[in-house]
Amino acid sequence: MKIGIVCYPTFGGSGVLATELGMALSDKGYEVHFITYEQPVRLSQSFHPNIYFHEVKVPTYPLFAFPPYETALASAMVNVITNNKLDLLHLHYAIPHASAAFFARQILKKSGLDIPFITTLHGTDITLVGKDPTYAPVVTFSINESDAITAVSDNLREETLRSFAIEKPIHVIPNFVDVKRFHQTDKNHFKQMMAPDGERILVHVSNFRAVKRVQDVIRIFDNVKKEIPSKLLMIGDGPERQNVEELAKELGIFNDIRFLGKQEQISEILSITDLFILPSATESFGLSALEAMACGVPVISTNSGGLPEINIHGVTGYLSNVGDVADMSANAMLILKDEDQMAHFKKAALAQAKKFERQHIIPLYEALYREVVDAY
Ligand code: GMT
């Protein structure tokens, strides 16, 4: 089967998941065509002979205050589908991919080349952006025009049904992790550099948007550090980075934190990590937490969105209410202060991650592809 994957190429979870899916499908012999405005980050890490990358170019013109990406994307879809005879288009993140696909399909119908499309809802396309009345009519229409709809957690499925008039079933296919790449490896030399006196290592990975509540990470670390010698690694970049760096300086803990920026070798960092912190205001799944767990790292998170579906309270880590920094700090210390306790949580985190191994999840997508193509 020839599959077109449309996604954001950035470090965000939906782009990462889409890229991991494309790589897994290519390993299974599918021909995969990525259609996006840049090469997806994780695609550049290795060469896959049956993966093709089609760059969407958006020409500018002085009249355009906002260059029309959606128009360029729909045209790229038409060209890639026509030239490569794709069987199916899989869109990751509804906005604007689903409406662009609808438009492309109207064009393709004229030449008898019409193909089905599947939309995977990832989170903020529903919970934050999609709900906005500015976008909602187009989002609702284009999701309903999809030949199949998937959501990455039960919670996101329910949230979508609550917020939009959806006329089709929503299949839940959770995020997955490739344990061949995400597993604990011996990086003691690296640990020695980051925590020379045997301090505990706490890690946060995100795009530093407001929804991630990155300030809470700093405050949790501040509380933990007062009781347990520790270091914090902050991975990623985004709008809140400057603010959290300032907060760290104000609290006098800046020198115990490394702001490492965007990193590609996340599993190496996770290999030296004792605790992962994800205090998001909302999180439809929390792929970064799953990748941490696959490296045997327990998780302190909020109980928002789909997080309780992966982080099991008291087993793989702990869940707290959004903003309850005191509770998250106390829970972090419960895990970190005792060697046996920590080993126990690490083992449980790894066992939980194995339930989301890519070999269990990819067949769910394959079955849906087959069903949609056969029914079309
Ligand atoms: O929140 C992010 O980091 C980016 C965002 C995206 O859409 O790229 O991630 C969403 O999709 C991921 C993959 O399905 C999920 O694991 C994240 O939980 C989800 N983010 C939110 O819901 C805030």
ipTM of this complex: 0.95
Q: Is the CB of 152 under 6 A from ligand 1?
A: yes
Greatest distance between any 2 Cα atoms in the chain = 68
Residue nearest to atom 23 of ligand 1 (CA): 283
Mutate to test the pocket of ligand 1, among 283, 301, 365 (most ligand atoms within 8 A of CB): 283
Q: Is the CB of 126 under 6 A from ligand 1?
A: no
188-354: CATH architecture: 3-Layer(aba) Sandwich (3.40)
Q: Is the CB of 282 under 6 A from ligand 1?
A: yes
Q: Is the CB of 319 under 6 A from ligand 1?
A: no
- Residue 154: pLDDT band by 50, 70, 90 thresholds? very high
The larger pLDDT score, comparing residue 133 to residue 213, is at: 213
Window from 167-171, 256-260, 264-268, 287-291 with minimum mean pLDDT? 264-268
Residue 11 has pLDDT above 80, yes or no: no
Q: Average per-residue pLDDT in the chain?
A: 95
Give phi and psi for 232, each to the nearest 5. -120, 130
The pLDDT of 257-269, averaged and rounded, is 93
Quote the pLDDT of residue 127: 77
Instruction: Report the atom number in ligand 1 closest to the C-alpha of 284.
Output: 22
CATH T-level assignment (fold) for domain 2-176+357-375: Rossmann fold (3.40.50)
Quote the pLDDT of residue 43: 86
Q: Is the CB of 301 under 6 A from ligand 1?
A: no
Quote the pLDDT of residue 42: 84
Quote the pLDDT of residue 170: 97
Residue 177 has pLDDT above 90, yes or no: yes
Question: Which segments of the chain belong to CATH 3.40.50.2000?
Answer: 2-176+357-375, 188-354
